[in-house]
Amino acid sequence: EAVMDYSEDSMEAAHNVERQFQEFFHAVKALNREKSMTANQYWGAAEKDLHAALVQTRRDVHTKLQDNFDTPSVILALSALVSKTNVYLSTHADPAAAAQVSTVLVHSVAQYITDMFRVFGLIETHEVGFGSVTEGGGEEALAPIIGAFSAFRDEVRTAAKAKEHGKVLSACDSVRDNVLPLLGIRLEDRPSGVAVFKLESKEDLMREMEAKKAAEEKKLAQRLEQQRKEQEELEKGRMPADQLFRAMTDKYSEFDERGMPTKDEKGEPVSKSALGKLAKVYEKQTKMHKKYQDWQQKQGASSSSNHT
């Protein structure tokens, strides 16, 4: 018998596979809400190809189950079928193509996978997917959602009255990113301009929110660190090149008109080899000081524009 693998990588891979099936079921449910299975069904080359994949997967799964109930291979086969169906759905994403998507075919794929999961004891319901993720019923279940909608309406109404259109868009983003996930609802914007909602586990969505927040905080910290380093580099150019060596009285005692050292602290002439190295330092400081001056000029221009 195969050894059970509970390593971190193995558990992460299992979670990713589970997530793939969850996302697929959510997409199918969203599709069913938008287009009824009783509507006219288009049947072209893409549909024939997907149907053939479904039929072949059925055969492969049947064979694998006869082979000492090879569950891992069955899951891989089902995952491949989901990937192929997702490709089919992605090619029907725009409004014109969406009208031709075969909801009956896509539902058949989802129903078959659901039936197989029920065989494995993963689910008990006959409903497509892993079942409903909502809890409670009636007013108790609806109250948080209605409350969120009411608060959102108030915010949009107030902003609209004040003709603050930017706040209207901000409210739309906020309810999508910060409110609905806490209610177990994922709202996704689409190129068509028509959003799609998916009912998911509140815990999963909250974990995503936390991960997104952590990523944003990390990105902000990296940006601030980069700005700090850039500012630190700019500050090195604060001193003009002709003053750089004059400040080093512990090393040099005389200088030429450019500020280049001619004698060391003991009054001895600076060697040619040392002068060559100092010339490179001088040239670098000249460039750094020019960069510092340009930055100061931009800061001054920005400050003046803000006061006009």
- Residue-wise pLDDT for 41-91, tens only, equals 888 899 999 999 999 999 999 998 888 888 889 999 999 999 999 999 888
SS3 246: coil
Q: Where are the alpha helices (DSSP H) in the chain?
A: 8-34, 45-66, 71-90, 95-98, 103-119, 138-161, 165-174, 202-235, 241-244, 272-306
Please state the separation of Cα 162 from the chain's center in Å: 33
Please state the separation of Cα 26 from the chain's center in Å: 19
> Distances from the Cα of 280 to the Cαs of 162, 165, 255, 286, in angstroms?
61, 56, 16, 10
Q: Where are the alpha helices (DSSP H) in 175-201?
A: none
Please state the separation of Cα 77 from the chain's center in Å: 28
Q: Scanning the structure block, which residue is given the tokens 């969203």?
A: 30
- The count of other CB atoms within 10 Å of the CB of residue 175 is 20
Whole-number percent of the chain with pLDDT over 70: 91
Alpha-carbon gap, residue 261 to 254, rounded angstroms: 6
Mean pLDDT taken over the chain: 86
Alpha-carbon gap, residue 168 to 159, rounded angstroms: 6
Q: Mean pLDDT of residues grouped by 10 in the chain (308 residues)?
A: 56 82 87 77 89 95 87 91 92 75 91 90 80 54 81 90 91 92 90 86 90 92 93 90 91 92 92 92 93 87 62
Q: Scanning the structure block, which residue is given the tokens 């959003």?
A: 195
**What does the DSSP 8-state code read for residue 259?**
S
Contacting residues for 127 by C-beta, under 8 A, at least 6 apart: 114
Give the residue from 207, 211, 31 showing the smallest Cα distance to 106. 31
pTM of the model as a whole: 0.50
Report the chain's terminal Cα–Cα distance, integer Å. 78
